[in-house]
Chain A
Amino acid sequence: MKPAIFIIAGLLFTSKIVPQTTFPVFPSASIANTSVADTSTWVAFQNPASLAFVENLSVGLLAESRYKLTIPTTESLTISYPTSVVNMGMSLRYAGFSVWHDVYSGFAFARNFADKFALGMQFCLNSAYAFQSDSYYHTFIMQAGLLVPVSSKLMVGFQAFNMFGASLKASLVTYALPSVYSLGCNWKVKNAFNLRFQADKESGHQYRFATGVDYHHNKQFLLQLGVYGYEYAVPVFGIGFQQGKFDFRLMNELHPMLGLITRIGICYSK
């Protein structure tokens, strides 16, 4: 009962907060999208090296709603499967609505090299729907990631999405897909307290800087606070709750001009 009341109170509180980002970064389960050095979760199109730290078969769903609208939305599905040689993962992400949407599907594999470093690669297919021709246009994209534990408390992460600058070629136009580079670190200040910093850069955009804090109150409950800067400073608040093999996350971001983004996730680990 107590956790349920807390979740509802959290929802009411966070719904008061609202900002938006136009920086082309995939939504993640990490606060303020500081996912590049976050090894606690791996969701669709996050740093593929994080997949190396998955220990059990996991299935995750993440949904994002912008500006308190029901459409357009973003939904993603992630499946991770660890093996003794490499960890494998599949990702699927749908963004948009019926007459305008694109689908990213990806296959990833990653390996942790004796806790000295972890490398991951993801092969993605972007399928964009064109209403005029009622057809899909496809592009192949690569993503690579790296995680290096500098010390027992400090992890540095790097990832590159669409590093070869793939473009979407339609019948009349060519649309350059974003190439995003991210560098960040995760500092385990205490066992229950993690601090993360991240910088992202897309070729045609300015830098995005983000920081976030994870506080594990106990094994079940997680509190997240963060902020990122891209044109505006955007505060983010989130909570997480673990029950048995299920892990729930809820995050809200507030943009001073545009509005609220709400993100909700659920993950099942065997």
Chain B
Amino acid sequence: MKKLFVSLFVVHFSIAFSQNSDNNIASIITEIYKSYSEEEEKELDFDSFMEELMILSENPVNLNKATRSDFSGMVFLSENQIENLLSYIYFSEGLVNLYELQLVEGLDMTDINRMLPFVTLGEKKNKKDFPNMYEMVKYARSELLFRLDFYPQLKQGYIATPEKQSVYQGENFYNYLKYQYDCKKMIQAGFTTEKDPGEMMFGEKIHGYDFTSGYVQLSSVGVLDKIVLGDFKATFGQGLVIRQGGSCTSGAGLSNLIQINQGFRKYSSVGEYDFFRGIAGSVSLKNLNLHAFISYKMVDGNYDNHILKSLLVNGYHRTSSELENKHNVTNFTTGASVTYANKNSVLGFTCLYNQYGDSILPDIKPYSLFKASTSDNIFSGINYRFRTGKFNVFGELAMNKYGNIASLNGFTFIPVSGITMGGLFRYYNRAYDNPFASAFSKGSQVSNETGFFSGLEIETIRKIKISLQSDLFQFPWLKYGIDFPSLGEEYRIKLVYTPAVGTSININFKFRKKDDADNIEIYHTQQPILSSSASFRIQFQQLAGPCEFSSNFELKTTDKYGQLTGTAFWQNISFYKIKFPLKIDLRWMIFDIPEYQNRIYAYENDLLHAFSIPAFYGKGTRLYALFKYSLTEKLDFYLKLAETIYADGRLTIGSGYDVIQGNRKTDIKLLFRWKIPHF
């Protein structure tokens, strides 16, 4: 009987699956990442995201032998979906065919299409043996990437005069070199070297590249589940103690409200701040997982009269003052985490000790009154997750050494298939100041915030998916730019209509209202003013043979001192054919946005391992063309040409030392990828 059902599904849905088999895996990963980040202004670590999923695609998970931890890399799957999948596999005694995924409750075609490159069905050895020398050469995958960006228009910082040298001491190009080695996901090693535009390659303080990073990660080595030497990231619990690489956002949907414990992961991105450098290890003992790490690295600090005022996280070392601040503060961090997990619950404890070489003593401002001014701090937290019937409950409670707490508790509820409800309450004390925390928040840090988020997703209507969200939040203390406690509320409606295979219409509406600061001060005191913004976005996508077309329109209205409306329209065309080694992405965009507060973010396709969501304001057009050509089976070449042309009469673009003359800004980016052959 089961075989009859499976056969019927194979016949009925094989068209959808065969189309998906033609998709480029990098495009799928980009689409997944896009759904996480396009509606938010926070930047997530795309580089690591792409790399981990690419490795997973080459070492797909055997579904019939998979455990919960095997899905930790598939961040687009929720806890509920993973549980339903494991339950289905258990009760059906294994999948016969991947088409059966459609029978799993909570998985729709979008989720299944995303999963397909990363899963397989097949025989699997009971335990993977650690590769020997021969396998390390024969079955390994390694690649070398070389990227070069340059900018025809010269920024102010590069211009020298007879009286003085240019402010930027380096050359006007961006460059990185990255090497990655992977053998069956059990041995991974690599290094990354990077130089930002304006940074010297060879000079007094820099010998070669400005930033260098490396790692060796071994999995399943003796009793150790994982050991990482070099640079790594850590993610435990719901992110109130440690989460590196970005947090969940409301744009990612209710099903991703619960953060998955990812443990330690090697770090190979080009970001110069958000990682650890040292050694980390994990051990699994039946239901118990133990993790520990130690890290020591140098960070950039801004000193004023020998007092450390703040840490610098942008990683720029272009000017003489930036070079003086380079790696002038030591940072020692150590931590551990213990997690107990069974079929229906997870309970974890995480603690972390962090110390800087000097105490950070910023200028006393009202909004930073409660920030810790010490050189060290301790953070610890208890996180939990349990599933009972159709409920999933999760949360975390964290505290620093002064007793200031941060707490996050939430639930998801699936009363019937196709309907998901969720809620999340958060309280972050104004004095909870953890530089490694990243959790659900409206502010830029996990601090000084109270809020309640709720959502409803409905997929019961054929071909239509509706999502409704609301978030009521409060900042009990002052914030940067706002000298009084403030309130806010945000509402979102999202509708996805898929009338036919290859055609979809996405409609997003977002409304936000919050207390803001008036530009006028009375007796040197800011006056509160209510500001609101509403944005409407519609996207139409159509797949036609080897081409994909996407038309996008967004309208954004803000009201602070009167209503202002900005609009943007962009048309994308992508061409990709498996038999022909050329992929082309084209975009034409026009925008008419009066002020910065109306700015519109529009996601753009970019080179491999790169992600771009520029903000647009003013009047103008933006064009880009992205080409990927496979010179040989092992050698890929990427080229992106992009230009923004402003039509609002401006004579310069940018500010400070980044000012360029004229109304055009051009970017040219090249990337070579060599998949190194093994013998």
Residues of A within 8 A of B648 (CB): 204
How would you classify the secondary structure of chain B's contact residues: helix, strand, loop or mixed? strand
- Which of B503, B545, B571 has the most A CB atoms < 10 Å from its CB? B571
A150 and B503 alpha carbons, distance in the complex (Å): 8
Which listed residue, A146, A204, A207, touches B619 by the CB 8 Å rule? Answer: A204
Please determine whether A204 and B623 come into contact, CB atoms closer than 8 angstroms.
Answer: no
Residues of B within 8 A of A206 (CB): 592
Please determine whether B588 and A181 come into contact, CB atoms closer than 8 angstroms.
Answer: yes
Contacts of B519-574 to chain A: CB distance below 8 A: 540, 542, 544-545, 547, 549, 551, 553, 567, 569, 571, 573
Provided the pairs A201-B592, A204-B647 are in contact, do residues A179 and B544 lie with their beta carbons within 8 angstroms? Answer: no
**0/1 per residue, B74-88, Cβ < 8 Å to A?**
000000000000000
A148 and B502 alpha carbons, distance in the complex (Å): 13
A160 on the interface (CB 8 Å rule)?
A: yes
A114 and B546 alpha carbons, distance in the complex (Å): 12
A113 and B546 alpha carbons, distance in the complex (Å): 10
A165 and B589 alpha carbons, distance in the complex (Å): 12
Residues of B within 8 A of A113 (CB): 544-545, 547
**0/1 per residue, B4-30, Cβ < 8 Å to A?**
000000000000000000000000000
Contacts of A147-203 to chain B: CB distance below 8 A: 148, 150, 156, 158, 160, 163-165, 176, 179, 181, 183, 199, 201, 203
Please determine whether B571 and A158 come into contact, CB atoms closer than 8 angstroms.
Answer: yes
Provided the pairs A148-B542, A160-B588, A164-B645 are in contact, do residues A116 and B503 lie with their beta carbons within 8 angstroms? Answer: no
Q: Which A-B residue pairs are the 9 nearest by beta carbons? A: A203-B647, A165-B645, A116-B544, A160-B588, A181-B590, A116-B545, A117-B544, A158-B571, A204-B647
Please determine whether B569 and A201 come into contact, CB atoms closer than 8 angstroms.
Answer: yes
Residues of B within 8 A of A181 (CB): 569, 571, 588, 590, 621
Please determine whether B544 and A148 come into contact, CB atoms closer than 8 angstroms.
Answer: yes
- Which of A117, A156, A201, A203 has the most B CB atoms < 10 Å from its CB? A203
A146 and B252 alpha carbons, distance in the complex (Å): 32
Inter-chain pairs besides A156-B551, A183-B571, 12 sampled, C-beta below 8 Å? A146-B571, A148-B544, A148-B549, A158-B588, A160-B571, A163-B621, A176-B647, A181-B571, A183-B551, A199-B569, A201-B590, A204-B619
A49 and B588 alpha carbons, distance in the complex (Å): 16
Please determine whether B623 and A164 come into contact, CB atoms closer than 8 angstroms.
Answer: yes
What is the minimal beta-carbon distance from A157 to any residue of chain B, in angstroms? 10
A117 and B551 alpha carbons, distance in the complex (Å): 14
What is the minimal beta-carbon distance from B661 to any residue of chain A, in angstroms? 14
Contacts of A98-133 to chain B: CB distance below 8 A: 113-114, 116-117
Residues of B within 8 A of A148 (CB): 542, 544, 549
A sample of 15 cross-chain residue pairs with beta-carbon separation below 8 angstroms, ordered by A number, consists of: A117-B547, A146-B571, A148-B549, A150-B503, A156-B551, A176-B647, A179-B590, A183-B569, A183-B571, A201-B567, A201-B592, A203-B590, A203-B621, A204-B647, A204-B648
B664 on the interface (CB 8 Å rule)?
A: yes
| A-binding residues in B (CB < 8 A) | 503, 540, 542, 544-545, 547, 549, 551, 553, 567, 569, 571, 573, 588, 590, 592, 619-621, 623, 643, 645, 647-648, 664
A150 and B664 alpha carbons, distance in the complex (Å): 35
What is the minimal beta-carbon distance from A141 to any residue of chain B, in angstroms? 13
What is the minimal beta-carbon distance from A169 to any residue of chain B, in angstroms? 14
Which listed residue, A116, A144, A150, touches B547 by the CB 8 Å rule? Answer: A116
Residues of B within 8 A of A116 (CB): 544-545, 547
Residues of B within 8 A of A150 (CB): 503, 542
What is the minimal beta-carbon distance from A153 to any residue of chain B, in angstroms? 13
Provided the pairs A158-B571, A165-B621, A203-B620 are in contact, do residues A179 and B647 lie with their beta carbons within 8 angstroms? Answer: yes
Please determine whether B551 and A158 come into contact, CB atoms closer than 8 angstroms.
Answer: yes
| B-binding residues in A (CB < 8 A) | 113-114, 116-117, 144, 146, 148, 150, 156, 158, 160, 163-165, 176, 179, 181, 183, 199, 201, 203-204, 206-207
Please determine whether B621 and A179 come into contact, CB atoms closer than 8 angstroms.
Answer: yes
> Considering only CB atoms, which chain A residue lies closest to B551 in the complex?
A183
Please determine whether A203 and B623 come into contact, CB atoms closer than 8 angstroms.
Answer: no
A117 and B574 alpha carbons, distance in the complex (Å): 12
- Which of A146, A150, A165, A207 has the most B CB atoms < 10 Å from its CB? A165
A154 and B545 alpha carbons, distance in the complex (Å): 18
Please determine whether B545 and A114 come into contact, CB atoms closer than 8 angstroms.
Answer: yes
- Which of B590, B623, B643 has the most A CB atoms < 10 Å from its CB? B590
A201 and B590 alpha carbons, distance in the complex (Å): 8
What is the minimal beta-carbon distance from B630 to any residue of chain A, in angstroms? 22
Which listed residue, B542, B571, B664, touches A165 by the CB 8 Å rule? Answer: B664
Residues of B within 8 A of A179 (CB): 590, 621, 645, 647
Residues of B within 8 A of A207 (CB): 567
A173 and B195 alpha carbons, distance in the complex (Å): 41
A156 and B573 alpha carbons, distance in the complex (Å): 13
Residues of A within 8 A of B621 (CB): 163, 165, 179, 181, 203
What is the minimal beta-carbon distance from B405 to any residue of chain A, in angstroms? 51
A164 and B296 alpha carbons, distance in the complex (Å): 50
A24 and B623 alpha carbons, distance in the complex (Å): 21
Residues of B within 8 A of A201 (CB): 567, 569, 590, 592
A207 and B567 alpha carbons, distance in the complex (Å): 10
> Considering only CB atoms, which chain B residue lies closest to A149 in the complex?
B544
Residues of A within 8 A of B623 (CB): 163-164
A117 and B544 alpha carbons, distance in the complex (Å): 7
> Considering only CB atoms, which chain B residue lies closest to A116 in the complex?
B544
Please determine whether B567 and A146 come into contact, CB atoms closer than 8 angstroms.
Answer: no
What is the minimal beta-carbon distance from A260 to any residue of chain B, in angstroms? 30
Provided the pairs A158-B551, A179-B621, A181-B590 are in contact, do residues A165 and B544 lie with their beta carbons within 8 angstroms? Answer: no
A199 and B571 alpha carbons, distance in the complex (Å): 13
Residues of B within 8 A of A117 (CB): 544-545, 547, 549
What is the minimal beta-carbon distance from B544 to any residue of chain A, in angstroms? 4
Residues of A within 8 A of B643 (CB): 164
What is the minimal beta-carbon distance from A24 to any residue of chain B, in angstroms? 12
A114 and B645 alpha carbons, distance in the complex (Å): 35
Residues of A within 8 A of B540 (CB): 156
Please determine whether B571 and A203 come into contact, CB atoms closer than 8 angstroms.
Answer: no
A152 and B346 alpha carbons, distance in the complex (Å): 53
What is the minimal beta-carbon distance from B605 to any residue of chain A, in angstroms? 17
A163 and B545 alpha carbons, distance in the complex (Å): 26
A150 and B623 alpha carbons, distance in the complex (Å): 25
Please determine whether A146 and B549 come into contact, CB atoms closer than 8 angstroms.
Answer: yes
What is the minimal beta-carbon distance from B616 to any residue of chain A, in angstroms? 13
A148 and B549 alpha carbons, distance in the complex (Å): 8
Residues of A within 8 A of B588 (CB): 144, 158, 160, 163, 181
Residues of A within 8 A of B551 (CB): 156, 158, 183
Please determine whether A203 and B547 come into contact, CB atoms closer than 8 angstroms.
Answer: no
A163 and B571 alpha carbons, distance in the complex (Å): 12
A211 and B279 alpha carbons, distance in the complex (Å): 66
What is the minimal beta-carbon distance from A110 to any residue of chain B, in angstroms? 14
Residues of B within 8 A of A203 (CB): 590, 592, 619-621, 645, 647
> Considering only CB atoms, which chain A residue lies closest to B589 in the complex?
A181
Residues of A within 8 A of B590 (CB): 179, 181, 201, 203
> Considering only CB atoms, which chain B residue lies closest to A144 in the complex?
B588
Please determine whether A165 and B647 come into contact, CB atoms closer than 8 angstroms.
Answer: yes
A116 and B549 alpha carbons, distance in the complex (Å): 11
Residues of A within 8 A of B571 (CB): 146, 158, 160, 181, 183
Residues of B within 8 A of A165 (CB): 621, 645, 647, 664
Residues of B within 8 A of A163 (CB): 588, 621, 623
Please determine whether B573 and A146 come into contact, CB atoms closer than 8 angstroms.
Answer: yes
Residues of A within 8 A of B573 (CB): 146
Residues of A within 8 A of B542 (CB): 148, 150, 156
What is the minimal beta-carbon distance from B204 to any residue of chain A, in angstroms? 42
A160 and B645 alpha carbons, distance in the complex (Å): 14
